[in-house]
């Protein structure tokens, strides 16, 4: 089951149609988003993954063209001026962006498109393509997030407590935007979060029954004690307070 998305470029009367469903996945740094996306892609067929461009240096075992397209600031700015990005944003001093070509590539393959992007970029895409399916992933509490950030930093041999604290603060700011997303997943138990993300994708494709029920439980417009508890631990208003 597919959905048609129309993107009208400013100053351009032409309309670009994309066949398939556009899934947007965002999360604070250290929430386990990359692991979830990787497992989802092994479990669900027909998902085309958009590899973002970034000006930051590769970390650990990252390779150009696999995790990111690593590029220079000059080349990134050239692409911005040429209108080659669907969205782009500056995050912690580095630029990240999604190429418009990802849309046409997914269309040509007859697949749904999966965007793994930060909150700033997600808001741009949601405004341009309001029918996109947006999913926010969050850790169960600040302590878990801090532990994950520290473990990742140690693995990359670049532990910096100031950076960890800055990312914790940024996480609280990003969580304020969660109500703009259609779905929210609390990544406390990896297998459960993977099952929920898979259910969302299959439900949006039209599968009913237990899959649809699981997906519905992750909707941000439905009260969830689990989600509210996670948000309260970060000092963020719960659903009842925000609506």
Label residue 78 left, alpha or beta by phi (over 0 means left) and psi (-120 to 50 means alpha).
alpha
Answer whether residue 235 shows pLDDT above 90: yes
Q: Where are the domains of the chain?
A: 21-50+111-233
Task: Quick: pLDDT tens for 19-70.
Answer: 489 999 999 988 989 899 999 999 999 999 999 999 999 988 889 998 899 9
Task: Quick: pLDDT tens for 115-172.
Answer: 989 898 899 999 989 999 999 999 999 999 999 888 877 766 666 778 888 889 999 9
Q: Are strands 53-54 and 94-99 parallel, antiparallel or unpaired?
A: antiparallel
Torsion sign (Cα): 186, 187, 189, 191: positive
Task: Quick: pLDDT tens for 169-215.
Answer: 999 999 999 999 999 999 999 999 999 999 999 999 999 999 999 99
Answer whether residue 240 shows pLDDT above 60: no
* Cα 227 to Cα 217: distance, rounded to the nearest angstrom: 10
Distances (CA, A) of 14 to 7, 17, 128: 9, 10, 14
CATH numeric code, 21-50+111-233: 3.40.50.300
Quote the tokens at residue 86. Answer: 């669907």
Torsion sign (Cα): 193, 191, 63, 139: positive
Q: Rounded to two decimals, what is the model's pTM?
A: 0.83
With CA atoms as reference, report the closest residue to 139 among 35, 54, 22, 24: 35
């Amino acid at each position: 089951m597919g959905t048609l998305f129309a993107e009208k470029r400013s100053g351009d009367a032409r309309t670009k149609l994309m066949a398939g469903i556009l899934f947007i996945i965002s999360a604070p740094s250290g929430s386990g988003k990359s692991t979830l996306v990787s497992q989802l892609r092994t479990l669900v067929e027909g998902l085309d993954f958009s590899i973002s461009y970034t000006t930051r240096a590769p970390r650990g075992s990252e390779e150009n063209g696999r995790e990111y397209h690593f590029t220079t600031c000059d080349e990134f700015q050239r692409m911005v001026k040429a209108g080659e990005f669907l969205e782009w944003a500056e995050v912690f001093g580095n630029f990240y962006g999604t190429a418009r070509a990802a849309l046409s590539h997914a269309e040509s393959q007859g697949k749904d498109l999966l965007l793994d992007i930060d909150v700033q970029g997600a808001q741009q895409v949601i405004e341009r393509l309001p029918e996109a399916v947006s999913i926010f992933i969050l850790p169960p509490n600040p302590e878990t997030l801090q532990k994950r950030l520290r473990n990742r930093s140690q693995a990359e041999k670049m532990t910096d407590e100031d950076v960890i604290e800055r990312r914790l603060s940024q996480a609280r700011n990003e969580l304020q935007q969660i109500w703009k997303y259609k779905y929210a997943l609390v990544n406390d138990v990896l297998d459960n979060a993977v099952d929920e993300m898979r259910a969302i994708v299959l439900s949006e494709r039209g599968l009913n029954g237990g899959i649809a029920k699981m997906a519905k439980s992750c909707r941000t417009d439905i009260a969830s004690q689990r989600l509210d508890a996670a948000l309260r631990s970060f000092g963020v208003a719960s659903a009842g307070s925000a609506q």
